[in-house]
């Protein structure tokens, strides 16, 4: 049975939200990030990476499609699938190979990947609510 939690937070509460989520999630895991442009998906991934011990700069993989980072205990792959148009493009990236690694996978705009993913993924829905963000977590 899936569990859903909802949080309303401001930008300065982002580190707290990130640490809380990482405490609740299996290590490592696959995390899908959904939300409109500007909802804060990449900002949240940057904080998650920082909390996982990434010391290098974290940036959006919009053009690279995937960025790789070394955390304290695990590798992190950050995907942005927004520019991909087909499952074939995703397959040609070797996406399925990433699924079998002991690594965190953060996937923004995950719609094309849904047919490839295991059932035990974590879904994050980010929404803008006034000057705050709403995070709906399903795991």
Tell me if the bond preceding 28 is cis, omega within 30° of 0. Answer: yes
- Per residue in 81-104, pLDDT tens? 999 999 999 999 999 999 999 999
CA 39 to chain CA centroid, nearest Å: 13
**DSSP letters along 67-98, please?**
EEEE-SSSEEEEEE-TT---HHHHHHTTHHHH
The mean pLDDT value for 20-37 works out to 96
The mean pLDDT value for 20-47 works out to 96
Dist CA 61 CA 42 (whole Å): 9
For the chain, the domains span: 4-138
The mean pLDDT value for 121-126 works out to 98
Confidence band, pLDDT 50/70/90 cuts, at residue 31 = very high
Confidence band, pLDDT 50/70/90 cuts, at residue 44 = very high
Q: Does position 67 have pLDDT exceeding 70, yes or no?
A: yes
The fold for domain 4-138 equals Rossmann fold (3.40.50)
Closest CA to 44 of 134, 138, 129: 134
Q: What is the pLDDT of residue 133?
A: 97
Cα 3 to Cα 23, 84, 114, 120, 139: the distances in Å are 15, 30, 19, 11, 5
Mean pLDDT of the chain: 96
Is the backbone of residue 21 left (phi > 0), alpha (psi -120 to 50) or beta?
alpha
The token pair at 10 is 């401001």
* pTM for the structure as a whole: 0.95
Confidence band, pLDDT 50/70/90 cuts, at residue 1 = low
Cα 88 to Cα 26, 66, 67, 84, 94: the distances in Å are 29, 16, 20, 9, 10
């Amino acid at each position: 049975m899936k569990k859903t939690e909802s949080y309303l937070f401001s930008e300065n509460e982002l580190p707290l939200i990130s640490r809380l989520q990482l405490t609740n999630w299996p290590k490592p895991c696959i995390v899908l990030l959904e939300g409109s442009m500007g909802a804060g998906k990449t900002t949240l991934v940057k904080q998650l990476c920082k909390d996982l011990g990434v010391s290098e700069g974290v940036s959006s993989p919009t053009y690279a499609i995937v960025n790789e980072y070394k955390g304290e205990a695990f590798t992190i792959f950050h995907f942005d699938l927004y520019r991909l148009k087909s499952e074939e493009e995703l397959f040609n990236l070797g996406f399925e190979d990433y699924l079998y690694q002991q690594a965190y996978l953060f996937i923004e705009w995950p719609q094309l990947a849904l047919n490839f993913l295991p059932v035990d993924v974590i879904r994050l829905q980010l929404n803008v609510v006034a000057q705050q963000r709403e995070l709906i977590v399903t795991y």
